[in-house]
Structure 1
Amino acid sequence: MYDPTVARLTYRALLGRRRALILFALPALLIVIAIAVRALVGADDQTASDVLGGFGLATMVPIIGVIAGTGAIGPEIDDGSVIYLLAKPVKRPTIIVTKLFVAIGVTMAFSALPTLVAGLILNGNGQGIAVAYTIGALVASLAYAALFLLLGTVTRHAVVFGLIYALVWEALFGSLVSGARTLSVQQWALAIAQKTARGDIVTSDVSLPVAVVLLVVVTLATTWYAGQKLRALKLAGEE
């Protein structure tokens, strides 16, 4: 269920275009913010949690997920070049799974590692906050990559819808409407981060069992459906 050629082409598409500038810019911004906050406030656990949760997990991780998830397949569908890929002797579910692995890898690399570095700068991993949010970023990367990869297969406006979900649903409704938090990838990731951190600074409105189940279900369901949508694409001459 993994094709090295498809993976290489996908990595090249993600890291060789203008979207790569955003992939590098957001983590760099988080590091700059962490340095500035540490210089102004000093090592404070609550401040570290606010920065890592408010900008890192709530903004940076989903936006990187949008770029990586939709960029893994969306441009190929938009410009029609996906037809050449589908004409290869590679099963379509294999294509989707391979692209998902690439999207997850890129999302993790550009979100989890900067989160860890920023956390160490902010408070030296006091109360395990840096590691907790890093684990949260890793977990969130799975669901975001799968969710936005699906968007890339079903609509030409995947980036727009992805940003609406990331910035409106996750950041706005997820923080203001209690019922919406249950359906928030951010809250699922926080539930796992909360289990890892010491003390009660990292909190989630979703219980750990519910978070784990929803993460698994959403990741698997969106991946399966993306495979079905790709399978439904017809090549010229196909019945």
Structure 2
Amino acid sequence: MYNPTVARLTWRALLGRRRALILCVLPALLLVVAAAVRAMNGADDAVTSQLLGGFALATLVPLIGVIAGTGAIGPEIDDGSVVYLLSKPVGRTSIIVTKLLVAAGTTAVFAAVPVLVAGFVLNGNSQQIAVAYAVAATVASLAYSALFLLLGTVSRHAVVIGLVYALIWEALIGSLVPGAKTLSVQQWALALAEKVAGSGADISSSVAVPTAVVLLAVVTGGGTLFAGQKLRTLTLAGEE
């Protein structure tokens, strides 16, 4: 299912100069803020959880997911260069799975790793908070990548729609509105963070762990399946 050639082309597209700059700025901002907060407040578990949950998991991870997920395939569809890829003897399911893995890996590197480092900077991983949020960010990276990869195959405005979703639904509504929290990737990932850290940490989710696992699997699997199906409907010039 994994195709090295497709992966190499996708990595090259995602890590182009403009996208790479954006991908680096966001985690750098998190680390700067983490260092400043530690300098002003010292090691504080509650503050650490608020920053990693309220900013990193709710805003940073979905934003990077938008960049990586839509960027893995959206531009190729928009400019028509995807036809060259589809003309090769490569299964379209293999293309989608490979692009998903690359997008998820990119999101994890630029989101989950900085979250882990920021957690250690903030409180030295007291009560496993840094590790818990890093696990949550990694799982969320996969779900967001599948979701935004699908979006990239169905809309030419995938980046705009993705940004609206990330900034309004995940960062705002999914964090504050009780009923909407059940449908938030952030809250599903937060449930896993709560499980990893244990009851002593200041981490809580509105979704139970079994429900979160099921919903994460549905979004990841469903997004990948439908993205593959959409790609199969694309026809090359001259195909019947």
**TM-score, structure 1 as length reference:** 0.99
Aligned to 2:123: 123
Report the 3-state secondary structure (helix = DSSP H, G, I; strand = E; otherwise coil) of the residue aligned with 2:20: helix
Aligned to 2:220: 219
Superposed CA deviations along residues 53-105 of structure 1, whole A, max 9, x for unmatched, are 11110110000000000000000001100010000010111100000010010
Does the 8 Å CA contact 2:137/2:189 hold for their aligned counterparts?
Answer: yes
| Map 1:68-107 → 2, pairs under 5 A | 68-107=68-107
Paired amino acid for 2:239: E
Alpha-carbon offset, residue 17 of structure 1: 3.3
Paired amino acid for 1:174: G
Residue segments in structure 2 that go unaligned for 5+ positions in a row: none
Alpha-carbon offset, residue 175 of structure 1: 2.1
Q: Distance in 2 between matches of 1:190 and 1:166?
A: 16
Does the 8 Å CA contact 2:188/2:213 hold for their aligned counterparts?
Answer: yes
Q: Distance in 1 between matches of 2:27 and 2:75?
A: 24
Paired amino acid for 2:79: D
Alpha-carbon offset, residue 176 of structure 1: 2.5
Superposed CA deviations along residues 4-50 of structure 1, whole A, max 9, x for unmatched, are 00000000000023011111111111000000000011100000011
Report the 3-state secondary structure (helix = DSSP H, G, I; strand = E; otherwise coil) of the residue aligned with 1:80: coil
Q: Distance in 2 between matches of 1:145 and 1:203?
A: 24
- Which stretch has the larger CA shift, 224-233 or 193-202? 193-202
Residue segments in structure 1 that go unaligned for 5+ positions in a row: none
Equivalent pairs counted in the alignment come to 239
Aligned to 2:204: 203
| Map 1:186-201 → 2, pairs under 5 A | 186-198=186-198, 199-201=200-202
Alpha-carbon offset, residue 200 of structure 1: 4.0
CA RMSD of aligned residues (A): 0.7
Aligned to 1:45: 45
Q: Distance in 2 between matches of 1:155 and 1:134?
A: 31
Aligned to 1:156: 156
Q: Distance in 1 between matches of 2:55 and 2:188?
A: 16
Superposed CA deviations along residues 164-209 of structure 1, whole A, max 9, x for unmatched, are 1111011111123211111100000000000011314011000000
Paired amino acid for 1:134: A
The runs of 4+ residues in structure 1 deviating greater than 6 Å are none
Paired amino acid for 1:117: V
Q: Distance in 2 between matches of 1:218 and 1:144?
A: 8
1:235 has 2:236 as partner: yes
Sequence identity percentage: 72
**TM-score, structure 2 as length reference:** 0.98
